[in-house]
Every structure is written in C-alpha cells, then in structure tokens.
Structure 1
C-alpha cells in the first residue's frame, strides 16, 4: 500500500485557507439571505435600482429550479472547497471546480437575464470578475499545494 507523505504546512497556507473560508462565507450569506427573503438585506441590494424588495423577491422566486441549483453549486462548492482546504484534503480541488461550473452558468444567466430595473451593470461586472479571479486563484493555489504535497 502506497501512502502520500505530506510536508510541513506553511503558515501562509493556513492564512489563505482561513481567508478563503471567510470570503466564501460572504457568498453563503448572500445565498441564505435571499432564500430566507430577509427584507432588510434585500433592501440594501435594491439601492440604486428601480425595483422594490417585493419585485426582487419575485424575480428570484420565478427563476427555474435549475438556476438555483447552479447557484447552490457555485456557493456551496466554494464553501466545501475552503473547508476541505482547511482539512488539507485534495478533494478541495474538485469542490472548487464544481463551484466554477456553478459560477460560469449563473454568471452567464445573470447577464443574459439581468435583474429588472438594473440599468447600470458596472458593479455586477466588477463583482463577477473579482469572484472569478478569487476562485481561479484558489484553484491554482490548491493545485500547487497538492503538487507540493502540502495537501494529499
């Protein structure tokens, strides 16, 4: 039976893993607040839009189930990836890749069918670019840590 030897875990690994969990926690919070229909939270999202809280809730409720499923893959895949990274598991890479699939699908749909009343797409485009950049960085970092045998 062959086992993979891990090397000593650098402090920077723990910092990055914890930061990734905190970052992905924001996405999980957003997902939960929308599904729980937290009116105070959603009201903050409607600032600068010609849209009421009820209209935004109705927009999200009217989306097909599979759109929500891809959103869940994106959000919870990244949370799982961060937790698996903290556990030094090589499965973190698979979780981040699942998240990438969810992010790609929901991002494309978000620009094809934007939220009604959202006339300026500057903020969503910038936010989406940042989310993609962080996720790609986590994927490459995880691959590097697997290659260096920090995680197995």
Structure 2
C-alpha cells in the first residue's frame, strides 16, 4: 500500500503557471532576436525604445560575454521554471533561483557598465521593477508550493 499522501493541486498553480509561461516566453524570444542580430526586430520597437533599431542592436551586441551569460540564465531559467511549475516539479524552485541570479548579474552588469540614456530612466526603470517583482514573486510562490507538498 502506498503511504505517500497526495497533495491536491490548487487552481491558482495552473493560473500562475500558465501566465508565468506566457510572460517568461518573451525573454527568450527577445534574447534569440538579439543574439541572432535581427535588425527588423529592433526596428519594429524603435518608437517604444526611443532610439533607432541599429543603435539598440549595437548596444546589446556589444555587451560583454558574462552579461550575455547572465541574461541567458535569467530568461531561460524563468521559462524553464514556469514549465516546471506546471509540471509540479520541485526543480521549479531551483530554476527560478537561477533566473533571479541571472537577472541580478545582467542588471548589475548593465548598470556598472553604464546604461545609455535611451535605456535608462522613465518607462525602462518601471519595466525593470516589474521584471524584478515578477521574478521574485515566482520564486517565493514556487518555494511556498514546494513547502506545501504541491511540487514533488
């Protein structure tokens, strides 16, 4: 007889997991477009960024490899963590922690390097706060679900 108790999956795990997966799919897409040098991608967001696409692409392509590596850890860790959350895997916690580590490294790296005027202040600062808030929430949520026995 199986003595392991099964914890019922709360409805909010499916909602948060689905929203997190959709949100966290944006980062890897942006990362791939940048790493492949897709100028059309950057030109399509010129108005939002407040700078021409070629200038923005050149800035991101000129980032040191360690910042790129942190960026990759951040975006891919978040997407994998979201999927692991939906799979009810305890490894979602580790993936979200790695994602936050990557976010910290890339944020620190860009700030220490000096952000161009078009990439700092205003809506970019708000967007950075939103990213940090969501990433932190997802880690805390995953830890909570693991501690409650929902993630196995």
Q: What is the TM-score when the length of structure 2 is the normalising length? A: 0.87
Q: Aligned partners of 2:119 and 2:82: how far apart in 1?
A: 34
User: Over aligned residues, Cα RMSD in angstroms?
Assistant: 2.2
Structure 1 position 66 matched with structure 2 position 66 = yes
8 Å CA contact 2:42, 2:54 repeated in 1: no
- Greater displacement, 52-61 / 20-29: 52-61
* Residues 1:61 and 1:41: Cα distance change in structure 2 (over 3 Å): same
8 Å CA contact 1:85, 1:92 repeated in 2: yes
Shift of 1:87: 1.0
Q: What is the TM-score when the length of structure 1 is the normalising length? A: 0.87
Q: Aligned partners of 2:41 and 2:68: how far apart in 1?
A: 19
**Count of aligned positions:** 151
8 Å CA contact 1:51, 1:117 repeated in 2: no
8 Å CA contact 1:6, 1:151 repeated in 2: no
Spell out, residue by residue over 1:90-146, the C-alpha distance to the aligned partner (whole angstroms, 9 max, x if none).
Answer: 010000000001101111222333453517511121111101111111111111111
* Residues 1:29 and 1:62: Cα distance change in structure 2 (over 3 Å): same
Could you tell me which runs of 5 or more consecutive residues in structure 2 were left unpaired when the two chains were aligned.
none
Q: Aligned partners of 2:144 and 2:50: how far apart in 1?
A: 45
Structure 1 position 24 matched with structure 2 position 21 = no
Could you tell me which runs of 5 or more consecutive residues in structure 1 were left unpaired when the two chains were aligned.
none
